[in-house]
Amino acid sequence: MGQASIGTPAVSTFSPDHVTPVDHQLLVEMTGISKRFPGVLALSDVTFDLRAREVHALLGANGAGKSTLIKILAGVYTKDAGVIRLRGHETEIRSPRHAQELGIATIYQEYNLVPDLSVAENICLGHLPKGSSPLTKFIVSRQQMNRHAERILRDLQVDISPTIPLRRLGVAKQQMVEIAKALSLESGIYIMDEPTAALSSKEIEELFRVTRSMRDRGCGVVYISHRLEEVGMLADRVTVMRDGRCVDTLAAENAPTSRLVQLMVGHSVERAARHPGCAPGAKLLSVDRLSRKGIFEDVSLDICEGEVVGLAGLMGSGRTEVARAIFAADRADSGEISVRGKPIRVKSPNHAVREGLCYLPEDRKKLGLVLSSSVRDNIILASLARFCRFRIAGKGIWLDQHRIRKEVVERVKSLDIKTPSIGQFVESLSGGNQQKVVVARWLCSSARIFLFDEPTRGVDVNAKSEIYSLVRTLAAEGAGILLISSEVEELVDACDRIYILRQGRIVAELLRDEISKEAILAAALTGTTGEDGGRHRTQKEDL
């Protein structure tokens, strides 16, 4: 019953003629929403609303709770407490499918499209028009489908033929199809999760135009983005979240970028004393104007002996990609890398390892560990050649089991990896211990330059501090470390110097005394460090 009464206006909002007379009708009201995950309070008493005919931007740093809130609205998570009203009716959103039926359409960053189907098929997928007679009931009516798709695409004023296969479209056009798909559900409530992340500036304009036209026909759009400048260009209202709370909601015209940054960062927190820095030694690694088309551009950085260098940036700023390119896990298009002042062309990870580099990947289960192998095999994986006893033509052919055992046991002990034996399969270890296994692998190798990508993700507090003290020890022993982390506080505590990436470019380099949470976030969000100091790198300095 409740469903029917909600379903009807959902259809009517699609055509502007039927919009209710109240111009600012509330489509969504979320009050007192809380959500707890094991160990974290992800959302605490959040209030959020969305009106018809508006674009409501949702801002916040990584981990502020934006996506949790959105996922609750989209039916992916269920809330622990609070009330959701849709068009005035209190509603429990049970599943993503249910949310769709209730008229909530989500346009995710990753497109949920099938590349081999036509544009029209993608748009109508899940509700393909079928014939009405008993004979044609099971047959898709192509004509009707194409007409339906064409009408929606025409409404959007985008020039895409409904019959061509999706895979022939570029990213931006695919996104339009994704939007058309959401529109074909005639939903009324749209959630757009960082839709501009993969688009060029011209394509972004096109997207804005489409979004505005969605608004003008009476829909409400929740718009999530990391790019603050987009707020002023598109949004009617802005809500800023921080640490799982709703900080403020304000009209877009009253929200200059500086104010938004301030809201997102919050008050500065006094940190415990940082580690005493050590004087950096000779240059270990220098990267000169490394570029990969469409991903990052002209990235230059140095790491010296005994130095912990941070690489900060929002999600999607290209942090991981830069590290992977340095390690030759992905190919860079241009740029030079030198190790100890000697320019090298790293061709493969194998080559990089031989040059003394190592890379600890962000996703340890997918990229770091061989889950079906033992702790021992995982630890020796990068240094098999070193454990060999006999050599033929310089290549080791026989593993010295005794030495392996001795050294692995030593590593397990010194890193305090909790495992019943070194023959244990790593898949049965906890996240923190698994991460330490990957770290141990690189300690065993002869690496001097450590590229650590989110070493503390999904790791408990104890393991976290152990990993950071290990990073310090490595630096004290003369290694160079590049540390990528989403946790700004951790970067502030651990780093001697921090580079900040924004949209694939290094926008700032903060020296020891300039490092602060505010400066990092300001640079990552806007591209300038503001009054906090910090060298704003200009093109000239780069050259």
Indicate the SS3 state at residue 489.
Answer: helix
Would you say 77 or 359 has its CB closer to another protein? 359
Q: Does 398 bind another protein (CB under 8 A)?
A: yes
Using CB under 8 A, which residues numbered 368 to 387 contact another protein?
368-373, 377, 380-382, 384-385, 387
Q: Does 393 bind another protein (CB under 8 A)?
A: no
What is the distance in angstroms between the CA of the first residue and the CA of the last residue of the chain? 67
Q: Does 396 bind another protein (CB under 8 A)?
A: yes
CB of residue 425 vs another protein: minimum separation in angstroms? Answer: 6
Q: Does 388 bind another protein (CB under 8 A)?
A: yes
Alpha-carbon distance of 84 to 89, in angstroms, equals 8
Would you say 297 or 362 has its CB closer to another protein? 362
Q: Does 399 bind another protein (CB under 8 A)?
A: yes
CB of residue 345 vs another protein: minimum separation in angstroms? Answer: 16
CB of residue 397 vs another protein: minimum separation in angstroms? Answer: 6
Q: Does 332 bind another protein (CB under 8 A)?
A: no
Indicate the SS3 state at residue 335.
Answer: strand
Residue 334, strand partner residues:
291
Query: Which residue of 213, 350, 462, 469 would you call a contact of another protein, by CB under 8 A?
Result: 350
Query: Which residue of 147, 259, 354, 472 would you call a contact of another protein, by CB under 8 A?
Result: 354
Indicate the SS3 state at residue 272.
Answer: coil
Helix (H) or strand (E) holding 339: strand 334-339
Query: Which residue of 77, 296, 359, 499 would you call a contact of another protein, by CB under 8 A?
Result: 359
Using CB under 8 A, which residues numbered 430 to 459 contact another protein?
441, 445
Query: Which residue of 172, 204, 250, 367 would you call a contact of another protein, by CB under 8 A?
Result: 367
Q: Does 344 bind another protein (CB under 8 A)?
A: no
Would you say 48 or 359 has its CB closer to another protein? 359
Would you say 220 or 368 has its CB closer to another protein? 368
**Sole window of 53-61, 166-174, 393-401, 481-489 interacting with another protein (rule: CB under 8 A):** 393-401
Q: Does 361 bind another protein (CB under 8 A)?
A: yes
Burial 320-359 (b: 16+ CB within 10 A, else e): bbbbbbbbbbeebeebebbbeeeebebeebeebbebbbbb
Secondary structure percentages of the chain, helix, strand, coil, to 5? 40, 25, 35
Alpha-carbon distance of 35 to 29, in angstroms, equals 16
> C-alpha dihedral over 518, 522, 528, 532, to 10 degrees?
-20
Q: Does 427 bind another protein (CB under 8 A)?
A: yes
Would you say 273 or 392 has its CB closer to another protein? 392
Alpha carbons within 13 A on the beta-carbon side of 130: 12
Compute φ and ψ for 41, nearest 5 degrees: -95, 100
CB of residue 168 vs another protein: minimum separation in angstroms? Answer: 22
Positive/negative CA dihedral, 368, 374, 375, 381: negative
Would you say 247 or 404 has its CB closer to another protein? 404
Q: Does 349 bind another protein (CB under 8 A)?
A: yes
Helix (H) or strand (E) holding 342: strand 342-344
Please, are residues 337 and 285 in contact by the beta-carbon 8 Å criterion?
yes
Using CB under 8 A, which residues numbered 85 to 104 contact another protein?
none
Please, are residues 170 and 188 in contact by the beta-carbon 8 Å criterion?
no
Binding flags for another protein, 290-309, as an x/- string (CB under 8 A): --------------------
Q: Does 278 bind another protein (CB under 8 A)?
A: no
CB of residue 444 vs another protein: minimum separation in angstroms? Answer: 11
**Sole window of 50-58, 176-184, 221-229, 353-361 interacting with another protein (rule: CB under 8 A):** 353-361
**Sole window of 43-51, 108-116, 262-270, 345-353 interacting with another protein (rule: CB under 8 A):** 345-353
Q: Does 108 bind another protein (CB under 8 A)?
A: no
* Interior angle at CA 511, CA 301 and CA 299, nearest 5: 20
Helices 257-265 and 517-526, packing angle to 10 deg: 140
CB of residue 362 vs another protein: minimum separation in angstroms? Answer: 11
Q: Does 366 bind another protein (CB under 8 A)?
A: yes
Q: Does 409 bind another protein (CB under 8 A)?
A: no
Q: Does 5 bind another protein (CB under 8 A)?
A: no
Residue 343, strand partner residues:
338
* Extended beta strands in 16-80, E state: 26-37, 40-51, 54-59
Residue (of 64, 91, 52, 55) closest to 75 by Cα position: 91
Would you say 92 or 363 has its CB closer to another protein? 363
Please, are residues 535 and 508 in contact by the beta-carbon 8 Å criterion?
yes
CB of residue 354 vs another protein: minimum separation in angstroms? Answer: 7
Query: Which residue of 327, 450, 452, 468 would you call a contact of another protein, by CB under 8 A?
Result: 327
Alpha-helix runs per DSSP H in 111-227: 119-124, 142-155, 171-184, 201-216
Residues making contact with another protein (CB under 8 A): 327, 329, 348-350, 352-354, 359, 361, 366-373, 377, 380-382, 384-385, 387-388, 396-399, 401, 425, 427-428, 441, 445
